[in-house]
Chain A
Amino acid sequence: MRPAALLARGGHLRGLGAGDAQRRSKEWLHVAVHGRTAEIVLNLNVFEDGDPWLPPGVPVGRSLWLAAAGGRVRGDVHRGARVAVGEGRLALAVDTDEIALRDGVLVVRASRPGFTVDLRLQPKVRPALAPRIPFDTADRVQWFLVPRLAATGTAEIDGVLHAFDGAPAYHDHNWGRFAWGADFAWEWGYLLPEEPDAPVCVVFARLLDRRQHRVRSAGCFVWWGEDNVRSFQDGEVSFTPEGRFAGPLPPVPPVMGLLSPDRRADLPARWAVRASGSGDAVEVSFVPARGGRILIPDEADPFGVTALHELFGDGTAEGTIRGRPFAFAGRGAIECIRVG
C-alpha cells in the first residue's frame, strides 16, 4: 500500500475520549516544513482542557504556529471559536486553519496575523505508530508519524512571501491523555536529507521524568526508501547533549514570556544520538541553529509553566542497517520540554 493510502488508513482523528473524568484528553496534528528561506511549524490541537464553564466533552481547539525567516523567529497561539474534528478522517480545523488529507496529499492552511500558509505535502514514506507511550503513572499517548514529505506552496511571514517546491517536511499525529506539568518531559527530533533522492531519514525520541533525571523510554527510527526498516529501542539508544545553545528563544505566545523569562542553560548546542543493536548502528549529530519557546500553562500546577523548545537546525547521520551503509547531511528539528 502506498504511503498516502496508509496515512489515510492510520492517520484519522480519534476524537476525545468520552467520560474522561480528569479531562486530560488531547489530540494534535503537527506539521513542520524546512524551506530554503523559511522554516515553519503548524500545530492544530484539540484539548479537553478542563475549562470550568464547559461541560465535559466539549473540545477546545488551538492553532499554534512558529516561523523562522529573515533571521527572526516568532509565533503565536490562537484559541479557536470553532473546532472541526474529522473523526474517521485525517482532518482537523480550528477556525479557518486546517490540516487535512485530500486525494493523498496533506493540505495545510493557516491564516493568522503576520502568518499565512497554503501548502500541499506529499507523503514520501509509510507511516509508523509508536503505541501507548507511557507519560506518567496512568497516562498513555500514541504517536503516529510520517517523517518525510515534500512540501509545495507558499507562506507569507511578516509580509514576505516564501515559496516551497518539494521542501523537506515532517508530520505527526498524537492522541492520548495527560496533563501539562505532570511528571514527564520529552526530547524528540528528526533529520531529513537535503537531497530528495537520498534514501534514509531518521527520527529519534526519548521520554524522561519532568526534571530529566531518569530516561523512561527511548527510540530511534530509521526509514530507508518508503519503509521504516529499523526501530531501535530503549537500551539500544543514547542521547548525549553537548555544550550550551546560546541563540535567542522568543516566547510563543509572546505574552507568556512575562511568566517565563528566557531560560536556556540546559539546552545543548549539539545532540549526539547513537543507536546500535543486532549489527545495525546509527549516529546522528544535530546542531540547533534557531528556535522558539512554546510556553504552556500547566494543568497539573495552577502556577506552573511548561516550555517546549522548538529548535530548527542541521545535522548529519550515518550508520549501517542490514549490512548497508548510509550517510547524509540534512535539516531537521528537535523539540524538548523543560520546566518553564
Chain B
Amino acid sequence: MSGEGFGTLLADSLAVMAAESPLHAAALAAALGAAPVDFAVGAERVRVWRGPGGRVVVGPVGGGAPAVRVVTGRAEILALLDGRRSLATAVREGALDLYGTPGEIARFIDVLVIYLHGAVRCPGMAGILARWRALGAADA
C-alpha cells in the first residue's frame, strides 16, 4: 500500500495498539480468526487477516472469498467516530454495508468492539484520528 488512506491508517493503528495495549492487540488477533475481512472504503480495497505469529495484517485484497466484506466511505467512518451516526443507524441507512453470513457478521462486530476497546485506551490513537480527519478535510 502506498499513500495515506484507510489501509495505512488501519495498519498504523494496529501498530499503536500492539505497543500501547498488547492485551487488546492479542484479543483482537484471537477474535479475528483465520478468515479474512475485506474493506471497501471509497475507492480503496483492503484485506485484514491474522498472519504468522498471531499478528493482524493489513494488505491488498487477494484471492479467495473473505468471511465478511465491509463497504463504506471515509466520510461515513468519520460520522461514526464523531458520534453523528451510530453503527446500527449506518447499517440501516446504507452508509455501511456488511456482507457475510449472520454468524460471520456477528463475529466481525465482536472484532470491531475489541478493536474499539483497545483504541480508546491508546493515547497514540489521537494522532491516527487526526490523520483520518485530515484525509476527510482533503476529500471535502
Same complex origin of A and B: yes
B24 within 8 A of A: yes
Number of interface residues, chain A, beta carbon within 8 A: 19
Closest A-chain residue to B120, C-beta based? A297
A258 within 8 A of B: yes
* Segment at the interface with B among A38-46, A213-221, A248-256, A283-291: A248-256
Q: Which residue on chain B has the smallest CB distance to residue A256?
A: B120
Report if B121 contacts A (CB, 8 A). yes
Given A254-B81, A255-B83, A261-B88, CB of A302 within 8 Å of CB of B120: no
Q: Tell me which of B34-42, B47-55, B57-65, B109-117 binds A.
A: B109-117
Q: Within 8 Å of chain B (Cβ to Cβ): is A242?
A: no
Residue from A60, A261, A302 within 8 A of B117 (CB atoms) = A302
Complex CA distance for A257 and B86, rounded to whole angstroms? 7
Assembly CA distance A266 to B86 (angstroms): 21
Chain A, Cβ-Cβ closest to B84: A254
A302 touches B116 (CB 8 A): no
Size category of the B interface is: 20 to 34
Report if B23 contacts A (CB, 8 A): yes
Q: How far is the CA of A258 from the CA of B123 in the complex (A)?
A: 17
- Residues of A near B83 (CB, < 8 A) are 250-251, 253-258
Q: Give the residue name and chain of the A residue nearest to B125 (CB).
A: A255
Contact B121 A258 (CB under 8 A): no
Q: Which of A52, A53, A258, A303 contacts B80 (CB 8 A)?
A: A258
Number of residue pairs A-B, CB distance < 8 angstroms: 51
Asked whether A51 is an interface residue with its Cβ less than 8 Å from the other chain, the reply is yes
> Of the candidates B23, B24, B27, B82, which one forms a contact with A255 in the assembled complex, judged by CB atoms under 8 Å apart?
B82
B10 at interface, CB cutoff 8 A: no
Does B20 belong to the interface (CB within 8 Å)?
A: yes
CB distance from B44 to the nearest CB of A (A): 21
Q: Is the CB of B81 within 8 A of A255?
A: yes
Q: Which residues of B contact A255 (CB under 8 A)?
A: 81-83, 120, 129
* Nearest-neighbor residue (CB-CB) of B81 within chain A: A255
- Complex contact A259–B117 (CB within 8 A): yes
Residues of A within 8 A of B81 (CB): 254-255, 258
Chain B nearest CB: distance from A247 CB in Å?
16
Residues of B with C-beta under 8 A to A51: 20, 123
Complex Cα–Cα for A53 and B86 (A): 32
Establish whether residues A53 and B113, one from each chain, have CB atoms under 8 Å apart when the complex forms.
no
Nearest CB on B from A259, distance (A)? 5
8 Å CB contacts to A: which residues of B75-131? 80-84, 86-88, 113-114, 116-117, 120-121, 123, 126, 129
- Interface status of A79 (Cβ within 8 A of chain B): yes
Q: Is B30 interfacial (CB 8 A cutoff)? A: no
Bound-state Cα–Cα, A258 to B27, Å = 18
Mark out the residues of chain B between 11 and 40 whose CB falls within 8 Å of any chain A CB in the assembled complex.
19-24, 27
B126 and A302 within 8 A (CB): no
- Residue of A258, A262, A297 with most chain B CB atoms under a 10 A cut-off: A258
Chain A residues positioned under 8 Å from B80 (CB to CB): 258
Q: Which of B21, B27, B117 has the most CB of A within 10 A?
A: B117
Q: A51-B123, A302-B117 are in contact. List 10 more A-B contacts (CB 8 A).
A: A52-B21, A79-B126, A254-B81, A255-B83, A258-B80, A258-B87, A259-B120, A262-B86, A302-B24, A303-B117
- Chain B interface (Cβ < 8 Å from any Cβ of A): 19-24, 27, 80-84, 86-88, 113-114, 116-117, 120-121, 123, 126, 129
Interface set of A (CB-CB < 8 Å, partner B): 51-53, 60, 79, 250-251, 253-259, 261-262, 297, 302-303
10 chain-A/chain-B pairs, Cβ below 8 angstroms = A51-B20, A60-B123, A255-B81, A255-B82, A258-B80, A258-B86, A259-B116, A262-B86, A302-B21, A302-B24
